[in-house]
Structures are given as structure tokens and as C-alpha cells.
Amino acid sequence: MTATSLGPAYNRLWLATALSNLGDGIRMAALPLLATGLSAEPVAVAGVSVAGQAPWLLFGFFAGAVVDRFDRRRLTVLVDVTRVLLLLVLVAALALNVAGIALVYAVAFACGVGETLRDTATATLLPPLVSDADLDRANGGLVNAEVAGNELVGPPLGGYLFGVAMMLPFAVNGSIMALAAALIFSLPSVLALKSAPAGGKGQIWADTRAGLRWLMAHRRLRALVLLGGLFALLDSAWFSIFTLYVLQVLALPAWAYGGLLGVGAVGGLAGGYFAARVTRLVGSGTALTGCLGCAAAGQLMLGLTTSVPVAAVGLAITSAAFGVWAVAGRTLRQRLTPPELLGRVSSASMTIVMGAAPLGALAGGFVAAGWGLTAPILAGVPALTVGALACHLALREPH
């Protein structure tokens, strides 16, 4: 599958997505490094990550109502331009040596707010650009662009640029984001919303409640969103202690942690690449059920072995399952949701995942402290198995 076969408009959306997520990965690595240089307090440094993630929990559900009410293309451009200006302020403050930890918090929080709007809007931009039959292929390309930028390339590049010059990663992030905004602005005007959703102007809260009521009344979408949250929670529970697992259970040196992360990234990218073929072969419901089952099998391998090759295979399986889930779940959500509600349904799904991940990480830490490092890994196996059964029952193709 090549992006070119999906048309020039999709190519521009794909490139904008890749650039935006690359910039996000650079910034997410550089901001904590900057905070470390400005404050030696661990709580102050950790607060940068909290400031960046808090907007999803505070505004995530409302972001969908905003996206459904306004022109999604122009909203995406406006968000990107605003974040470029914020980064310019930070670069100027660093150049003048007047940057403080409060400014770092403000930039992290404001960029996080923008991310809730941009990620939600981006999830709605694709359907008008490609045929319904090509949604899975197109989503596979976008998901891999997100993973590569956010996780594989962006963070190490951000760390390297910060080592060269403190302001460099933020200048690069701003430049990349400006180019992404220009690409989004070049997309066809068909992306504009034909009419605002029901409710008077300013009724964002009412629109949000209406969207959530619709979502909760839709059996298949409700199950998809809730199971996605469960998957994220269980995945974060063991990944939060994965460093200790590598050092103590597998008895590997610290540098091997990065190598295993690379194995996981390759598995995730492979899952995203082959997701369309899998869903076309077995159907979306069966593919999603299989993702939970494969994740359970992968975690069982991780939890019962001290062998590095077996652990690497288990990690690749779980990561590939997550990659297929991301593509198949997003495609099914786009196909089942009316266009005027897609922003709210997408933001609800992403907010639940973003909320479940830190809860899972916290729970994983407590479970590991009480019952050992493999306990969070093995505890997810029966939960994922039950989730797979629930997925099969809820997402069966209607006859």
C-alpha cells in the first residue's frame, strides 16, 4: 500500500500529520529537559508532563463539540498557528535568558489544549478525502505517521537538538508546525462543516452532552470506546514498569531497554501497515477481537519468561495488536458515526484512552510493588481475555 495511490489531498494530509507528530515528539522530549535546566526540584520537572497531559482530562470531551461546530480545516490551521506563536515566545525568552519554569508550564499546557482540538479535528478530516472502501488503508498510513513522529523519531531528535542548543528544538518544532498548517490549509474546502449541530451558539456543553448520549446509545460504538480505554489501561499498567522488567527480570543492561523499545515500535508499525489487510480478510469485529486476544498472548509470554528472544516476540505481538486496534478502531468509528457527530465521538474515544493510560500506569506501579514486576503483566491476561469475549459479542457484524 502506498500513500500516493490514495490521491494528492490524502498525501498532503499524511505529510501534515507526520510533520505535526514529529514536532510533538520533539517538544515532548525537549520541554522536560528545559525544565530540568530551570529547576532542580523533581516535582517541578514532573509538572511539565502533567501540564501537557491535563488538557485532555479537562477539555477533551468539549473539544469534539468545538470541532463539530466549526470549519474543521480552518480550526486545525488556527490551532497550529497559535502554537507556532507560543513557541516563538518561548524561543525569544530563551534567547533573552528570561525564560522561567512558569513559562514552560504555560507553553506545555497551551500546546496540550491545542492538541486536544487538533487531534480531534484531524480525525474528522480524512473521510471526505478518500472513498469509504479506502478508509482502512488511509488510516493505516496516518496511524504509522503518528507513531513514527511521536515515539520513534521525534523524542530522540528532540533530545539531540536540545543538546546542540537549548532553543533549537522549539524553533524546529515551530517551523515544522507552520509547514503542517500550510498543508492543512491547502486541503479541499469540502472539509468545511455544512451546518452547525443542533443548539444555539455557545451551547458547547449542550452539544457535548448530546454527543455523549448518542454515543452511549450506540451499542457497537459504546463497546469500541470502552474497550479501547480498557486496552490502554492494561497496556500502560505493565509498560510503566517495563524499565525495571528489563533490568531485573530479563537481567539486561540499561542500554537494552532502548533496543526493546525499538522492537515494540517496529511491531506497532507493522500492525498499522497490515491492519487494512487483516480487517478486509476477517472483518473489523473479528480483527478487533483478535487484537485483544493477541495482546493477552503477548503479555502471557512476557510474564512467564526470562528469555530475551521470547520477551522480544511477546513485546512485538502486543505492539502489533495495538497498531491493528488503532487503525481498525478508528476506521470503524468513522464508518459508524454521522459526520456531524464525528468530532464528539472521536474526542470521547481519545479522552477515555488518555485518561485510562495514567490510571493504568499508577495501578501497575502499585501492583508491581505489592506482588512483583511480572504481576501487572500477568494480571492483564485474564482481563484482556474477558475483553476479547465482550468485543466478540458487541462488535459482531450485524446480520
Is the model's pLDDT at 335 over the cut of 80? Answer: yes
Q: What is the pLDDT of residue 392?
A: 95
pLDDT digits (tens, 9 = 90+) for 89-115: 999 999 999 988 899 999 999 999 999
Gyration radius (Cα) of the chain, Å:
21
Confidence of residue 279 (pLDDT cuts 50, 70, 90): very high
Q: Does an H or E element contain 327, and which? A: helix 308-336
Q: CA–CA distance from 158 to each of 97, 149, 362 (Å)?
A: 20, 11, 26
Mean pLDDT of the chain: 89
Q: What is the pLDDT of residue 189?
A: 64
Is the model's pLDDT at 70 over the cut of 80? Answer: yes
Round to whole Å and give the CA distance between 378 and 297.
10
Confidence of residue 281 (pLDDT cuts 50, 70, 90): very high
Other CB atoms within a 10 A radius of the CB of residue 55 amount to 21
Packing angle of the helix pair 168-185, 8-38 (nearest 10 deg): 160
Burial class (CB within 10 angstroms; exposed 0-12, middle 13-18, buried 19+) of 98: exposed
pTM of the model: 0.86
Residue showing cell 487494512? 276
Is the model's pLDDT at 32 over the cut of 80? Answer: yes
What does the DSSP 8-state code read for residue 395?
S
Burial class (CB within 10 angstroms; exposed 0-12, middle 13-18, buried 19+) of 8: exposed
Is the model's pLDDT at 200 over the cut of 50? Answer: no
Round to whole Å and give the CA distance between 347 and 214.
14
CATH topology (fold) of 208-394: Growth Hormone; Chain: A; (1.20.1250)
Q: What is the pLDDT of residue 199?
A: 46
Round to whole Å and give the CA distance between 230 and 82.
34
CATH topology (fold) of 3-194: Growth Hormone; Chain: A; (1.20.1250)
Round to whole Å and give the CA distance between 70 and 60.
16
Other CB atoms within a 10 A radius of the CB of residue 152 amount to 20
Q: Helix or strand or coil: residue 175?
A: helix
Other CB atoms within a 10 A radius of the CB of residue 81 amount to 16
What percent of the chain clears pLDDT 90, i.e. is strictly above it?
61
Nearest alpha-carbon partner for 236 in 135, 377, 331, 125: 377
More confident residue, 4 or 117: 117
Q: CA–CA distance from 272 to each of 61, 231, 392 (Å)?
A: 26, 16, 21
Is the model's pLDDT at 197 over the cut of 60? Answer: no
Round to whole Å and give the CA distance between 76 and 180.
10
pLDDT digits (tens, 9 = 90+) for 286-324: 999 999 999 999 999 999 999 999 999 999 999 999 999
Is the model's pLDDT at 195 over the cut of 80? Answer: no
Confidence of residue 397 (pLDDT cuts 50, 70, 90): low
pLDDT digits (tens, 9 = 90+) for 338-369: 998 999 999 999 999 988 988 888 888 899 98
Q: What is the pLDDT of residue 204?
A: 86
pLDDT digits (tens, 9 = 90+) for 219-278: 999 999 999 999 999 999 998 888 889 999 999 998 888 888 888 889 999 999 999 999
Confidence of residue 202 (pLDDT cuts 50, 70, 90): low
Q: What is the pLDDT of residue 91?
A: 95
Residue 396 phi, psi dihedral angles, 5° rounding: -55, 140
* Fold match between domain 3-194 and domain 208-394: yes
Per-domain residue ranges of the chain: 3-194, 208-394
CB 68 within 8 A of CB 342: yes
The grid coordinates listed for 42 are 523533581
CA quadruple 169, 175, 179, 184: dihedral positive or negative? positive
pLDDT digits (tens, 9 = 90+) for 169-188: 999 999 999 999 999 999 88
